[in-house]
Structure 1
Amino acid sequence: PEKPDGYAPEGYSLVWSDEFDNTSNGLPDNKWWFETGNNGWGNNEPQYYIDRVLGNDTVAKVQNGMLTITAHKLTVPHEGADIISARMNTVESWKYGYFEMRAKVPGGKGTWAAFWMMPKNFQSWPLDGEIDIMEYVGYRPDVTQASVHTKDYNHVAGTEKTATRTAPGAERKFYTYGLLWTEDKITAYIDGVEYFSFANDHANNKNTWPFNEPFYLKLNLAIGGNWGGLEGIDPNIFPARYEVEYVRVYQKAK
């Protein structure tokens, strides 16, 4: 089936995409690198992130024009963890642009699916910035969230800039999640409707606007943790599947 065109703004052209058409081995290709390890980098998540495949379990599969990230419950623990999943990142990074994916998120208490961005030259959080295009926690069905994090605005300090929007049936149907990032502001959309924006104060202060450096895209499915696990982990969510039809990056024609 033909994939939808999406909601790229006028004057922007496609500079990078993954349509997840079949790869030779049915796994994500070298446009992506996989972070591996456990504990979710301080988010206290129980899953262990692996690179594409562990034994008979595939955590990131490409088939029939679809990427599926799957969190599996293991019968035999891996490195002390009994849940495995994927956290995959683009090799390329971009400064400004329109970033979009079309996806169906997993449900159930404990799931935490995300599409987000981190700086290529990362040294410390939150000083270097973070952009969350879409986060979805399964204990709060049908609600999607977008945020930015900076030194002055972040959830640890209770000052984060964030917004939510209802996405009815997000676990059963595909929505298009987009983000427009310019030198003046960051705006998040669902199916082309704006629901979050954060303006550059142009104070030339990294503490409020670190978003003038290249960032790369991240897709991951966490289980539990400081946010995803607020209402526990339902043992019946496994295997939990996060399905992505495409990821596209557009930039303004020079």
Structure 2
Amino acid sequence: MVLLAAATAFSACKVTERSGTKNYIYVQKKGRENKQWKLVWQDDFNEKSLDTSKWTRIPPGGSAWDAHMSSNDACYRLDNGLLYLRGIINPDTSVDKRPYLTGGIWTKGKFAFQYGRIEIRAKLECAGGAWPAMWMLAEQNKYGKYPRNGEIDIMEHLNRDSIIYQTTHSYYTLDLKQTEHPPHFGTAKLNPLEFNTFGISWYPDKIVFQLNGKDTFTYPRVTGVDPSQWPYDQPFYILIDQQLGGSWVGKINPADLPVQMIVDWVKVYQ
């Protein structure tokens, strides 16, 4: 096991440059984009509790996606190598007056990467108002306030849909309304009640979205347009969360709760 760990560390050093506090930012070395991927970071959720060296429970916020985020233990469970992120009816509104609570984790301040491939194997449960998401935000403030640093949505699922959405957001798409030059999102069909592998392959000139190892949608870097079209030249951190409600997904049906996203593993290659 010691030799295996040493070999893994050595191979990681060959493909990535690490920086930041405790070397948590992984930047793929130049020229690696056309070579074979090597595993540089992963979590199989095999421990009895969440690995806090890698993840933090997402705190509540003022946006639709994090309006119900909570650190309440009822929203989290680790069992037999699976992480359960739950959307529930709040069991005690005397402490927290919000009617619903949701679980989510992020690697902010603990792991971020620039270029490479991420894959997340998970199963999505369905419910009215359910909005499970896997996505990425910039770790460093290179270009200014959101949305100037961009957003990469590996997967978003709504209600009981048989499709997922895979999207990029930026100042270029949101403020300049350049959503078709190039198209900034795609959809892919799936059975949400089965385990699926969601991912992207991220290059200096394109982001290739994937489902179960197959390419589904590509967002390219375009020349001759506003530079805000490509803020994806910096490290991003990972978010995985079981969201509820909001104007896009619609009203929450309490009769459908609890609802869960069940995560098997997360792997990052460079």
Check 1:191–1:136 CA distance in 2 against 1; reply closer, same or farther (3 A cut): same
What is the SS of the residue equivalent to 1:22?
coil
Q: Is there any run of 5+ residues in structure 2 with no aligned partner, and where?
A: 1-33
The 5-angstrom pairing of residues 1-254 of structure 1 reads: 11-23=36-48, 26-39=49-62, 41=63, 43=64, 47=68, 49-51=69-71, 53=73, 57=74, 59-77=75-93, 78-90=95-107, 91-122=110-141, 123-139=144-160, 141-154=161-174, 157=177, 159=179, 161-167=184-190, 169-170=191-192, 172-203=193-224, 206-229=227-250, 232-251=251-270
TM-score by length of 2: 0.78
Check 1:156–1:235 CA distance in 2 against 1; reply closer, same or farther (3 A cut): farther
**Residue correspondences, number:** 229
Report deviation, 1:30: 2.6
Q: Is the 8 A contact 1:60 1:68 kept in 2?
A: yes
Check 1:92–1:45 CA distance in 2 against 1; reply closer, same or farther (3 A cut): closer
Report deviation, 1:225: 0.7
Looking at structure 1, the residues matched to 133 and 65 of structure 2 have their Cα atoms a distance apart, in angstroms, of: 16
Report deviation, 1:155: 8.6
Q: Deviations over 1:187-218 (max 9, x none)?
A: 10111111111111245954100000000110
Report deviation, 1:11: 0.3
Find the counterpart in structure 1 of residue 15 from structure 2: none
Percent identity reads: 26
Looking at structure 2, the residues matched to 36 and 152 of structure 1 have their Cα atoms a distance apart, in angstroms, of: 28
Looking at structure 2, the residues matched to 190 and 107 of structure 1 have their Cα atoms a distance apart, in angstroms, of: 18
Report deviation, 1:239: 1.1
Report deviation, 1:44: 7.1
Task: Please identify which structure carries the higher strand content.
Answer: 1
Report deviation, 1:79: 2.9
Report deviation, 1:157: 3.7
Query: Residue type matched to 2:106 in 1?
Result: N
Q: Deviations over 1:130-167 (max 9, x none)?
A: 0000000115x111110001111139947271011111
Check 1:117–1:46 CA distance in 2 against 1; reply closer, same or farther (3 A cut): closer
Report deviation, 1:37: 1.6
Looking at structure 1, the residues matched to 189 and 176 of structure 2 have their Cα atoms a distance apart, in angstroms, of: 25
Q: Is there any run of 5+ residues in structure 1 with no aligned partner, and where?
A: 1-8
What is the SS of the residue equivalent to 1:242?
strand
Task: Please identify which structure carries the higher helix content.
Answer: 2
TM-score by length of 1: 0.83
Largest Rg, 1 or 2: 2
CA RMSD of aligned residues (A): 2.2
Looking at structure 2, the residues matched to 131 and 180 of structure 1 have their Cα atoms a distance apart, in angstroms, of: 11
Check 1:158–1:198 CA distance in 2 against 1; reply closer, same or farther (3 A cut): closer
Q: Deviations over 1:62-82 (max 9, x none)?
A: 221111101110242143202
What is the SS of the residue equivalent to 2:77?
strand
Check 1:155–1:100 CA distance in 2 against 1; reply closer, same or farther (3 A cut): farther
